[in-house]
Amino acid sequence: MRKTLKQQIKPYKDITVADAQAIIRPELYRKIRIGLGEWTIKRDKTGYSDERAYQILMGDSSWMSDPEKYKIVQKFEAYVLKMTYFDNDSREFAEGKFQNIPVYNKMAIFPLFKYMAGSSVGRELYNRMHMEGNELDMISFKSAVKVGAVKNAYSPYKNKATSLDTLREGLNKKSDKHIDYSTGEVTEIADKDALGVSVQSLMALRKQLNTKEHESHSRAIGTQMFKIAFSNIIDNAMYGTKQKGREHRTGSDIKADIMRCINALTTIGARKVRNLYFDDNNKLRNKAVQKLVQLIAKNNGLGHSAEEILDNGGVVASLMSRKVFENSVSKAVNSEVVKINTKGGTAIQQSMFGLNGVSIDKNDIQDEGWRYPALNGGKELQYETKEGAM
């Protein structure tokens, strides 16, 4: 059992914070945000707009020591774009012969402004993306490309090497395509070890649901655990080990154990619902029920008139949207009785590249025109978990 478990969880142990990540140039980041309607051009009463903050950031490092500029930049949110990309790519595999390949990417896109590249890793990324005459708008890590992968995709943790080593391995070479942005012409570069590059259309980029950062101590699995357990157990097969006290048991016996556990959890959930809405004499707790229906009315946007009727002791039957309450009450009961809650929090993805890693030497910064000081004095950035901060 231990051996099987180790095999099954191995893919999850290999996951890093860089999985399904893409690094994007600020210019394209701005363009996508404008296309999504999430970019302010007109300044507000305080003089702030995303466009103004962006222009200050892209100007020079003087904003770090200028109180007025810093005040504007401080409000700017360079948040992650959770996006998907789906399109068909026609590729030539022999002279005059083409094949159609579906391309699907699912990624968290992080903008890399120059001030963020305060480490050697960040600088490698930034310099490669801004390589004169061979610029790259976005670098998607291998795990972000789900279908239709390009050759020689970049993988930060390839062969257990450090991220900086693999950056130098792939990024300091030319890409396998050169794009002339003025004409849109794509030229092949004959280098079998070059970083794989593809030209993609913004029309095929779509936004996915973004989960806000939050702390959670348990999560609902629902009936999935039940289905997985039952679908992998054979009734007449024998399970167990030869160790003392661990006798072989049939699959049907194990299924019976699982059902007993689920029934026990269901009983606990039903008891919790009963104690919440009924008193010791099995009479309905009117205030608790009223509070529930008021919450349902508010969450489902039934309007002020419906909320007012319920606040004054009116009944659900007098409202037009009665079915909303039936569904919501059923959901509330199911969340306690049917769903299985297990311990576990939310996985938070972070952009570790650029922001942490080997810090740049201060003299090195001046020599290469990097007028930006290393973040946190060059020390590695850490999460601040006090009071839920990040």
pTM higher than the cut 0.75: no
Between 21 and 12, whose confidence is greater?
21
- Tokens 């699959």 belong to 251
Q: What is the per-residue pLDDT for 42?
A: 94
Predicted confidence (pLDDT) at residue 377 exceeds the cutoff of 50: yes
- The Cα 228–Cα 219 span in angstroms is 17
First to last CA, the chain: 38
pLDDT digits (tens, 9 = 90+) for 40-57: 999 999 999 999 999 999
Q: H or E segment at 103?
A: strand 97-111
Between 111 and 361, whose confidence is greater?
111
Predicted confidence (pLDDT) at residue 60 exceeds the cutoff of 60: yes
pLDDT digits (tens, 9 = 90+) for 75-101: 998 888 888 999 988 777 778 888 888
Q: What is the per-residue pLDDT for 316?
A: 76
pLDDT digits (tens, 9 = 90+) for 247-259: 688 899 988 988 8
pLDDT digits (tens, 9 = 90+) for 177-209: 777 767 777 777 766 667 778 888 889 998 887
Please provide residue 140's backbone torsions phi and psi, each rounded to the nearest 5 degrees. Answer: -95, 130
221: how many CB neighbours lie within 10 A of its CB? 14
pLDDT digits (tens, 9 = 90+) for 333-376: 887 777 766 666 555 566 555 555 555 555 555 545 666 666 66
